[in-house]
Structure 1
Amino acid sequence: MTATPSDKRALVLFSGGQDSTTCLAWALRRFPEVETVGFDYGQRHAVELECRAGIREALSRPGGLGEGRLGPDHRIELAAIGQISETALTRDVEIAVSASGLPTTFVPGRNLVFLAFAAALAYRRGCRHIVLGVCETDYSGYPDCRDDTIKAMQVALNLGLEARLVLHTPLMWRDKAETFALAESIGGAELLRLIVEATHTCYLGDRSRLHEWGYGCGSCPACRLRADGFARWRAATGR
């Protein structure tokens, strides 16, 4: 059954990483009913999917941001993305810059497919708002993370679904240091600690080492970006 669309209901694209967790907290501050969706596309760092349940449980505890607000979680299998792509996120290949100028971690069409499936789910669940953690500031040049791409997708999805969905990108113009600052402003030290200790960003799926900024190999582009953002946030706050 398709639920009646509601401005009170939001669907968050939730991978288990720093950005999507911050976006989930952002949504929980703004919407009375929030659901989450994660995608298994054969990613090399599939450990991120295992982090999602613990993060949701922590946010749903009494007194937490999600108490009484955090609704069902949905997990969608999209193995076809991994099957048709030859990237460093879906194959055991070197992370480098390709001849096109894009990093080999770029998975062509990934965010476009994610949004199409998320919109179909939001349509059925009556979620008028969709929240995702793409960013055009601290990013790797992925074209499907750009503001213009998201705006174009919103138009296409609403035309194709005959709907009035709104795509929210709270991190679009924030760098990683500002993302740490946003998380603190939303949930204080408790949310910051959850992001550091429970989320996953490392492209290699390494959770053997806990750094001051979180778990990871410490050398892949995702780890370097997160570590640099944490250092700049600490410097700015005098921590």
Structure 2
Amino acid sequence: MSSSVAESHKAALLLFSGGQDSATCLAWALDRFERVETVGFSYGQRHVVEMECRIHLREGIKRLNPQWQQRCGEDHVLDLSVLGALSQTALTGQAEKIFEKDGLPNTFVPARNLIFLTFASALAYRRDIRHIIGGMCETDYSGYPDCRDDTIKALQVALNLGMDRRFVVHTPLMWRDKAATWQLADSLGGQPLVELINHESHSCYLGERTHRHEWGYGCGHCPACELRRSGWDRYQALQGAQERRKE
């Protein structure tokens, strides 16, 4: 195996938004790969505050573990403003959060994850990186079809055929609900990581960061906030049960 190929097996590129899921995935990646680069996307999202949060999260996670500090590589930000111009959804505009007739919420940005992973793979190709990591999940999610396991697996095949590479797309949260995601963060970095993600990550679709709840900042009413709150409550209940068993 050539040194370049060997290096590509040790490196990963993480889709890093600044939210709870991608922050947990960053810790997961830093625990497994020798070099982890991150990529964020600016696409005119209504919750653009996440782009600022991702900077603080990256630095905070690096400081939690000397090994993570050493392994955390370059950060990239790609301008995909054309995606926002095309979609005009509640996630990129000022529309109310309502469910459409086909069952999909109008926070669904058509093809977003497909485009993100395609651009990430193009970047990974240039960076000699084989492993691509995303926080997609179909256990606790808003019903977006581009978060489903079948979609991600099909796209991996297309990317490999289209670029003649052997990319591996990892989705460590695919079968975890939000409570299990908090538990994963706990297992990776203990309460310091949980507290960092709680305080610094952003999930709220409205970009609301003026009011902090027990589960973090947000409006408390959008689908992302509802998922995050219910997951935090279940995680806290599980933590309480574990403490009682120790007594």
* Same fold? TM cut 0.5: yes
Partner of 1:173 in structure 2?
175
**Corresponding position of 2:164:** 162
Are the equivalent residues in 2 in contact too, given 1:58–1:64 (CA < 8 A)?
A: no
Q: Which residue of 2 aligns with 1:147?
A: 149
Aligned residues: 237
* 8 A Cα contact 1:132 1:169, kept in partner: yes
Match of 2:76 in 1: 74
- Cα distance in 2 for partners of 1:4, 1:45 equals 38
Tell me if 1:29 matches 2:31: yes
2:233 is the counterpart of 1:228: no
Identify the residue that residue 220 of structure 2 maps to in structure 1. 218
The equivalent residue for 1:11 is 13
2:64, 2:193 within 8 Å by CA — same for their partners in 1?
no
Q: Deviations along 1:17-56, whole A, 9 cap, x unmatched?
A: 0000000110000001000000000000000011111111
What's the CA shift for 1:60? 2.1
Question: Which amino acid counterpart does residue 220 of structure 1 have in structure 2?
Answer: C
Distance 1:15 1:59 in 2: 14
Quote the Cα distance in structure 1 between the aligned partners of 2:153 and 2:64: 36
CA distance, structure 2, for counterparts of residue 125 and residue 34 of structure 1: 11
Q: Which runs of 5+ in 2 are unaligned?
A: none
Q: Distance in 2 between matches of 1:62 and 1:191?
A: 7
Using a 3 Å threshold, how does the CA distance of structure 1 residues 120 and 18 change in structure 2: closer, same or farther?
A: same
Distance 2:210 2:164 in 1: 47
Per the alignment, in what secondary structure is the counterpart of residue 7 of structure 1? helix
- Give the corresponding residue for 1:38: 40
> Segments of 4+ in structure 1 off by > 3 A?
62-65
Identical residues among aligned pairs (%):
62
- Asked if 2 retains the 8 angstrom alpha-carbon contact of 1:103 and 1:140, the reply is yes
Distance in 2, matches of 1:65 and 1:227, equals 31
Q: TM-score, normalised by structure 2?
A: 0.94
**Are residues 63 and 236 of structure 1, via their aligned partners in 2, closer, same or farther at CA, if it must alter by over 3 Å?**
closer
Q: Does residue 1:135 correspond to 2:152, yes or no?
A: no
Work out the CA distance in 2 between the residues paired with 1:197 and 1:57.
13
Question: 1:22 and 1:62 mapped to 2: Cα distance?
Answer: 13
Report the AA paired with residue 78 of structure 2: I
Specify the code of the residue in structure 2 equivalent to 1:57.
E
TM-score for both structures, normalised by structure 1: 0.97
Q: Give 1:118's aligned residue.
A: 120
Give structure 1 stretches of 5+ with no counterpart. none
